[in-house]
Amino acid sequence: MNNKTPEQEIECLKNSKELELLLLNNSDEALYFYSMDGKLIFINAAFEKITGYTTKELYESNFIPFVHPDDQEWTMRLWEGLYKGKIFEDVEYRIIKKNGEIRWSLSTWKIVSNYDGVQIGIQGKQQDITSRKQNEKEKDKRADELILANEEKERLLQKLKRAASVLSSAQESIMITDSTATITEVNDAFSYITGYSPDDVLGKNPRILQSGRQSPEFYVEMWDAILTKGHWHGEIWNRRKNGDIYPERMTISAVKSDAGLVQQYISVSTDITDIKTYQGQLEHIAHFDSLTNLPNRVLLADRLRQAMMQCQRRNLSLSVAFLDLDGFKQVNDLHGHNVGDELLVAVSQRMKDALREGDTLARIGGDEFIAVMIDLEKPEDSEPVLERLLKSAAYPITVNDIEMQVSASIGVAFYPQDGVTSDQLMRRADQAMYGAKQAGKNRYHHFDIAQDNAVKIQLENIDNIRSALDRSEFVMHFQPKVNMRTSEVIGVEALIRWQHPVRGLIASLEFLSTIEGHAISLEMGEWVIGAALRQISQWQNIGVNLPISVNISAYQLQQKNFATRLAALLSAHPDVNPHCLELEILETSVLSDISQASATMKTCHELGVRFALDDFGTGYSSLTHIKRLPAYLIKIDQSFVHDMLEDVDDLAIVESVIGLAKTFKREVIAEGVETIEHGAALLQLGCELAQGYGIARPMPAADIPEWLDTWKPHDPWQAFKG
C-alpha cells in the first residue's frame, strides 16, 4: 500500500523517468521517436489512439506503412531532408489506421541531438486533423458550388435578358404563368392590348381577362388540348381593363420539365379586332344595300334558294316580283341624286311594310327591287300583296318640301310553275316587268308565253355572237394599270369589244350577259386569252414588255379542264413568259366550290400565271375568298372608288378592303380612278396601284406604245413619291 503524501510522491517522480513517461502518455498530442535508421522506437498513448496500433505492434516498424500510398513519395522526400538538418512543421498528409480508415494528420518532424551534438533520432508529433479537413473540403465544395451557381445565374440572366428583349419588342401579347396558372410575366404588347400593367396582373389568374362570351365547355376543351397535346390554338373573346371585349387569336403552350411536369404556361396572342371589323363590314357590304339597308342581290339569291327548298318540302308556292320604279329617272334629273336617294329610302321602307312577315324585299340595282313572297297556297294568293306594293310605291312622298310621286312596274313569276332555278325565276320576273311597263306602268304583269319569245330572241343573239366570233369581229382594247407613287406602268387590262359591221363598237357588257353561262362564253374566253398572249408577244418584239390581265368568268374558271386548256394556250406561245399573263376572276361570289377553284388556281400558278380578284367587295363572303383563293392582287370594285370622295360608307369600304389586303399580304389596286383627287385619296389610304379614266381609257393595242411614251403622273401624286 502506498502511504506517501502527494508532495512526497512528486519528489519521488522528480527524480525518476516515470514523470516524463506520465506526461508523455497523458498528452493529447501524439508523440513518437524514430532511430536515425528510421525504426520506430517510441510512441505515446495518443499516437496509439490515432493509428489504432499498439506500441508493441509498431515497435521498430518503418514510417511508411502508416502513410497513405498517395502521400508516401513526397513525405519520404521530406524525411530525407531531415537528415540535412531541416525541420518540417505542420506537414499535412493522410495516414491509414489499423482498421483501414483514412485520417488526416498534421505532423512536425525534427532531428534530435544529444548534449554532445550527436544526432540520435527523429522526433515527431502528430495531430488528427481529419474533421478540420472535412470542414475545409466541405467549404471548398460549397465555394465551388457557389462559383458554379453564380456562373449559371449569369448565363441565365443573359438568357433572360435576351428573352425579355424578345418579350418586350414582340408584337404579340405574351403572358407567362407558373404551373398553378398564376401570372408571372407579361410583355409590353400585353399591357398595350389589355390595358393591364404588369403590377395589375402579376400574381393573378388569367381569368381576369375572361369576357364571359365563351361557354364553360369552351374552357374545358381548351384545357383538355393543353394538357393532352401540350398546346391549344384558337380564337377567343377577352376583356380589356376598360371593359371592352375584343377578339384574340391565341396559342397556349405548356412548358414541361425533363421529367414531364408542367412548369409554365405561355400564351402568345394577337388582337384580331381589325380583322373582325373588316369581316363584319364586308359581311354587311356583301349582304346589304348601303342606301336602303335592304338585302342586296347576293343575300336575296341566298334567301330565294332557301325559300324554294322550303316550298318543295311543304308543297307550297312562292312568287318572285321584280319591281322597277316608274319616273324615278326624272326625279333624279330634276331634283338631284340626294333627293332621289331619299325617295328610294322612303319608298323601299313603305314597300317593305306592305309585305308579310317572312317575305323578303331586296334592292338589286338603282331603282330595281325584288320581292319574294313565300308560303302561297296558290298563285292568286300573292295578289293582295302585289296590290299593296303598287299602292305603297305610288304614294306621294315629300322630300325638302318637294312633293314627288313615282310608281312601280312589277313582273311576277311563280315557283314551281315558272322556273326551276332561282336565276331563271328572277329573269322571268324581270321579263314580265317589261310587259308591265309596256302595258302602261303602275301595274303588275305575270310571266307568260310572250317571254318565251324573248328567250328565242336571246338564242338568236347567241347565234349572232357565234358568227361574229367566226368572222373575227371581236377585238381587244387595253387599259393601263399604274403605280401612282412610282409612276411605273405595271401592265394593262384586256377588255373585249365587238366591232359590229353595222352598229359599230359594242361595249362588252351588252353582249357578255347574253352568253353568260353558255358554252360559247368558254370559247370566247379562250379566244381572249389567246389574243392576249399574241399581243404580249407582238409588243415584246418591239421592245414593249407589258403584262396583260384577262378577265375570266367564274363559270370558265370552274371548268374541270381549265388548267389544261390554259397550259395548251401557253405552250402555243413559247416566247411568252407566263408571268406576263394575269387572270382577273370575276363574280367570285358565284363560285360554287371554293376548294376546287383554289386548287385550279394553284395549278395555273404553277404554270407561272398570276391571279387577281376582280370587283372585290361586291360579292358574297369576300373574306373567305381573300383567305382561300391564291390571288396576289385584289381589285377594289369601281363602284366604291367612284363615290369614295362623297360617300363615307364607300370610303369606309375602300379603307377596309385596303386594310384587309394588307392583313392578308395581298397587293391592292383601285379601278375606276376617274380624277386626280381619287388618286390622291387612295395614295393617302396606302393604295398605290390604280386603273381608270383618270389615267387612261381603254385603247386599241396600236395606241399603247405612244401612250407609254407620253404618260406622266399627275403632280399631286408626285407628293407621295419617295
What is the closest distance, in whole angstroms, from the C-beta atom of residue 393 to ligand C2E in the complex?
29
| Residue given cell 394588307 in the structure block | 662
Helix axis angle, 297-314 relative to 422-438, nearest 10°? 110
CA dist 112 and 41 (Å) reads: 14
- Residue 698 interacts with ligand C2E (CB under 6 A)? yes
Interface residue with ligand C2E among 586, 604, 660, 670 (CB under 6 A) is 586
Reading the block at residue 594, the C-alpha cell is 371554293
- Residue 671 interacts with ligand C2E (CB under 6 A)? yes
Strands 689-690 vs 667-670: parallel, antiparallel or unpaired: parallel
The residue among 272, 437, 422 whose CA lies nearest residue 362 is 422
Concatenate the DSSP letters of all residues of 532-570 into one string. HHHHHHHHHHTT----EEEEE-HHHHTSTTHHHHHHHHH
Which range, of 32-40, 260-268, 539-547, 668-676, touches ligand C2E by CB under 6 A? 668-676
CA dist 175 and 251 (Å) reads: 11
Say if CB 445 and CB 432 are below 8 A apart: yes
What is the closest distance, in whole angstroms, from the C-beta atom of residue 531 to ligand C2E in the complex?
9
Residue 674 binds which entry of ligand C2E, Mg ion, none, with Cβ cut-offs from 5 to 8 Å by kind? ligand C2E
- Residue 615 interacts with ligand C2E (CB under 6 A)? yes
**Count of residues engaged in binding ligand C2E, rule: CB under 6 A:** 24
What is the closest distance, in whole angstroms, from the C-beta atom of residue 570 to ligand C2E in the complex?
17
Say if CB 711 and CB 690 are below 8 A apart: no
Question: Judged by CB, which is closer to ligand C2E: 282, or 636?
Answer: 636
What is the closest distance, in whole angstroms, from the C-beta atom of residue 716 to Mg ion in the complex?
25
Interface residue with ligand C2E among 177, 392, 621, 638 (CB under 6 A) is 638
Q: Which of 597-609 are b and which e, b meaning 16 or more Cβ less than 10 Å from the residue's Cβ?
A: bbebbeebbeeeb
Task: Give the Cβ contact number of residue 374 at 10 Å.
Answer: 24
The residue among 276, 297, 275 whose CA lies nearest residue 286 is 297
Residue 698 binds which entry of Mg ion, ligand C2E, none, with Cβ cut-offs from 5 to 8 Å by kind? ligand C2E
Concatenate the DSSP letters of all residues of 407-448 into one string. EEEEEEEEETTT-SSHHHHHHHHHHHHHHHHHTTSSEEEE--
What is the closest distance, in whole angstroms, from the C-beta atom of residue 505 to ligand C2E in the complex?
11
Per-residue x/- marks for ligand C2E, 537-556, CB under 6 A? --------------x-x---
- Residue 528 interacts with ligand C2E (CB under 6 A)? yes
**What residue type is 706 in one-letter code?**
E
What is the closest distance, in whole angstroms, from the C-beta atom of residue 476 to ligand C2E in the complex?
7
Shortest-Cβ-distance residue relative to ligand C2E: 692
The residue among 379, 389, 388 whose CA lies nearest residue 418 is 379
Residue 121 binds which entry of Mg ion, ligand C2E, none, with Cβ cut-offs from 5 to 8 Å by kind? none
- Residue 551 interacts with Mg ion (CB under 5 A)? yes
- Residue 582 interacts with Mg ion (CB under 5 A)? no
Which range, of 81-89, 309-317, 450-458, 544-552, touches Mg ion by CB under 5 A? 544-552
What is the closest distance, in whole angstroms, from the C-beta atom of residue 653 to Mg ion in the complex?
14
- Residue 600 interacts with ligand C2E (CB under 6 A)? no
**What residue type is 157 in one-letter code?**
L
Binding to Mg ion (CB under 5 A) within 591-620 occurs at 614-615
Question: Judged by CB, which is closer to ligand C2E: 88, or 707?
Answer: 707
- Residue 491 interacts with ligand C2E (CB under 6 A)? no
Interface contacts to ligand C2E, rule CB under 6 A: 479, 494-496, 507-509, 512, 525, 528, 551, 553, 584, 586, 614-615, 638, 671-674, 692-693, 698
